[in-house]
């Protein structure tokens, strides 16, 4: 699971369309702000709009636009959510108009599958037992390295002893 989700993240441009195709879910259109130079919005008002759009959810963080066509994204978390990134409100950075709402309580199947990669990769889906298991999975390469080194050292010593005995016999 860890390797699969890591692979999917590293090749996200290729795997994202495959997930949407496999789940028969249309890929959502990325919202874009309509360029309006000289106009600006007040963050406090935008937060109020986001709170009205997804009532009962707490604002977890804000993604500010980096380019003129990017949107202001307010990430929200409902009390029943474990992850903080699943619900969000995308707002036009010039007009303050809500362009897209993503509610974690009613995600399309493709989005739900893609969102499931995070808890699957980090082991946060099953509580304490899964997290402890993931610690051992994470330590497995170190344990294999140590045991491999010990086995190699043992064979090297055996071979050295065998060569010493062969020299003594001559």
Token pair listed for 55: 């009532």
What is the model's pLDDT at position 81?
A: 86
Strands (DSSP E) contained in 47-115 are 58-63, 72-77, 87-91, 98-102
What is the model's pLDDT at position 114?
A: 93
What is the model's pLDDT at position 167?
A: 73
What is the model's pLDDT at position 169?
A: 67
What is the model's pLDDT at position 67?
A: 93
Residues of the chain with pLDDT under 70: 169-170
What is the model's pLDDT at position 159?
A: 85
What is the model's pLDDT at position 157?
A: 87
What is the model's pLDDT at position 68?
A: 92
What is the model's pLDDT at position 83?
A: 78
**pTM for the whole thing?**
0.72
Question: Of 133, 13, 132, 15, which is closest to residue 5 (Cα–Cα)?
Answer: 15
Would you tell me how many other CB atoms lie within 10 Å of the CB of residue 108?
A: 16
């Amino acid at each position: 699971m860890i390797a699969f989700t890591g692979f999917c993240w590293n090749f996200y441009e290729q795997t994202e369309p495959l997930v949407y195709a496999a789940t028969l879910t249309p890929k959502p259109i990325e919202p874009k702000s309509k360029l309006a130079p000289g106009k600006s919005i007040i963050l406090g008002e935008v937060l109020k709009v986001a709170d009205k759009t997804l009532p009962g959810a707490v604002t977890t963080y804000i993604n500010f636009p980096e380019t003129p066509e990017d949107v202001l994204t307010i990430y929200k978390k409902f009390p029943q959510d474990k992850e903080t990134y699943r619900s969000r409100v995308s707002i036009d950075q010039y007009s303050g108009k809500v362009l897209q709402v993503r509610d974690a309580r009613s995600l399309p199947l493709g989005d739900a599958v893609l969102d499931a990669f995070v808890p699957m990769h980090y082991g946060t889906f099953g509580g304490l037992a899964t997290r402890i298991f993931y610690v051992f999975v994470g330590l497995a390469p170190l344990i294999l390295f140590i045991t491999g080194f010990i086995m190699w050292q043992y064979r090297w010593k055996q071979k050295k002893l065998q060569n010493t005995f062969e020299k003594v016999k001559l």
